Amino acid sequence: MISISEDNEMTIRYDMHLHSSFSTDSDASAEEMAFHAQRLGLDGICFTEHMDLDYPKGYFPEDPDAFCADPDQVLNKVLHLRKTVRARKAFLPGASVKNALFPLWIGFGLEFGMQPHLSDRFHQIARNYPLDFIVASQHLVSSLDPYYPEVWEHKNPEDLIEEYYREMLANLKTIEDWDTLAHMDYIIRYIPGRKEQVYDSISNHAQIIDEILCHVIERGKCLEVNTAGYKYGLGQPNPAPSILRRYRELGGENITIGSDAHAPEHIAISFDQTAGLLTDIGFTHYCLFERRKMYPLRFHSV
Ligand SMILES: [Zn+2]
Ligand SMILES: [Zn+2]
C-alpha cells in the first residue's frame, strides 16, 4: 500500500515515471533505480516501461519489439523488488535510519505509446495485468518519431507541431485505458536548433492545446508534469509552464509528477524547483496511483 511519511523534507516524494533496462533506451537495472530512489529519500517510485506497440519499422530493424517491454517480466521484477528492497534498504551506503524505517513503494506501470489502432490491445493489457498506473504518450507524428532530425526536414515546424497535437487528441479520444497524459509538449524537445532554448508552443497552437486540456479534465484524468525537460536543457518541465497555467485556468487540478529517468542519476530531477513552480501556478496537490486508483497528495511546506 502507498504509505505517506509526513516528516520527509522533500516536497515531491514519489517519482511516477521511470524506466529501467526493460525499456530499450535504458541500461539501468530496476534494482539500481530502486536503490538510488531510496538513497534520495523518496517514498515511492513507479516503473513505467515503454509499451510502444507497432513502433515504426526502420528505426530498429534488428529488433522488431524495440520499445516494447514484456509486461510479465516487468511485473515479476516489481514483485521481487517489493519483497527485497525493504530488507536491503538499511544496508545502503548513505541511507539514514529515518529512511530505513520506510520501505519504498514500488509501482507497476506502463507507458503506452498511443496510435489510433492500438486501443483494443491496450485495453487487453490493462485488463490482464495488475497495473498501478498507465501513462499515455504521443511519441509519434504522422507515424514517424520526431526524435530523428530527418522528420523535420523540408517541413514547417509549426505544421508538424499542430499535427502532433491533433493526433494526440484523436488518440486520447479513442484510447480509454490511461491515467495521465505524459509530457504533453514532448515534440518541442526535438525541434532542430531549439534544443537549448525555451520554446513555448501555446501561442501558435492555443486552440488544440485547450481542446486536449479540456478533454483531460472532462475525463477525470491527470496531466503529467515531466521533469526530464530540465535534463534536456529546456530549463522547464514538459509541458511548459504556460500550458500548466492554462490547465489550471480551465479547472484542471490533477497532475502526476515524474522524472522520466532512464538512469539513476536522473531520478527526481529538479523536483524541488518543480514543486515551487507548481504551487506558484496554484496546484495544491499531485496524484499517485495504485491499482489504477487515484490518491491526491497535498504539497506542503514548499
Ligand atoms: Zn515518453
Ligand atoms: Zn518515459
Q: pLDDT tens for residues 182-206?
A: 999 999 888 887 655 567 889 999 9
Cell of 253: 487540478
> How high is the pLDDT of residue 97?
47
In a domain, 31, yes or no: yes
The phi, psi pair for 171, rounded to 5°, reads -65, -40
CA distance 108 to 131: 5
Phi-psi group of 251: left, alpha or beta (phi > 0 → left; psi -120 to 50 → alpha; rest → beta):
left
CA 269–ligand 2 middle distance (angstroms): 14
Instruction: Let me know if residue 285 belongs to a domain.
Output: yes
- Counted domains in the chain: 1
State the distance from the centre of ligand 2 to the C-alpha of 112, rounded, in angstroms: 9
Residue 128 has pLDDT above 70, yes or no: yes
| Domain-embedded: residue 7 | no
Dump pLDDT digits (tens) for 11-51.
899 999 999 999 988 999 999 999 999 888 898 999 999 99
Which ligand neighbours the alpha carbon of 185 most closely? Answer: 1
Q: What integer is the mean pLDDT of 77-91?
A: 73
Residue 27: inside a domain:
yes
Using the mean position of ligand 1's atoms as its centre, give its distance from the Cα of residue 218 in Å.
Answer: 23
Q: What separation in Å is there between the alpha carbon of 139 and the centre of ligand 1?
A: 6
Ligand 1 centroid from CA 128, angstroms? 22
| Residue 69 domain-assigned (yes or no) | yes
The tens digit of pLDDT for each residue in 85-119 reads: 765 444 445 545 444 445 789 999 999 999 999 99
Ligand showing the shortest atom-to-Cα distance for residue 19: 2
Q: 96 CA to middle of ligand 1, Å?
A: 33
State the distance from the centre of ligand 1 to the C-alpha of 51, rounded, in angstroms.
10
Q: What is the pLDDT of residue 102?
A: 54
Q: Which of 4-8, 96-100, 230-234 has the highest mean pLDDT?
A: 230-234
Q: 248 lies in which domain range? A: 14-298
Q: Which three cell numbers stand for residue 48?
A: 513505467
Distance CA 106, CA 81 (A): 8
> Cα(97) to centroid of ligand 2, in Å?
32
Q: Residue 5 domain-assigned?
A: no
**Which triple of cell numbers denotes residue 166?**
491533433
Quote the ligand 2 centre to 86 CA distance (angstroms). 25
Task: Please report whether residue 9 resides in a domain.
Answer: no
In a domain, 205, yes or no: yes
C-alpha of residue 127 to centroid of ligand 1, in Å: 22
The pTM is what? 0.91
Alpha-carbon Rg for the chain, nearest whole angstrom, is: 18
pLDDT confidence of residue 194? 67
- Residue 10 pLDDT exceeds 80: no
Tell me whether residue 210 is exposed, middle or buried, using C-beta atoms within 10 angstroms of its C-beta: 0 to 12, 13 to 18, 19 or more: middle
Indicate which CATH number applies to the domain containing 203.
3.20.20.140
- Residue 98's pLDDT is 47
- Please tell me the distance between residue 163's alpha carbon and the centre of ligand 2 in angstroms: 21
pLDDT in tens, 138-190: 999 999 999 999 999 989 999 999 999 999 999 999 999 999 999 999 998 88
Q: Which residues, including other chains, have CB under 8 Å from residue 188's CB and lie 6 or more apart? A: 161, 194, 199, 201, 234, 238, 240
Cα 37 to middle of ligand 2, angstroms: 17
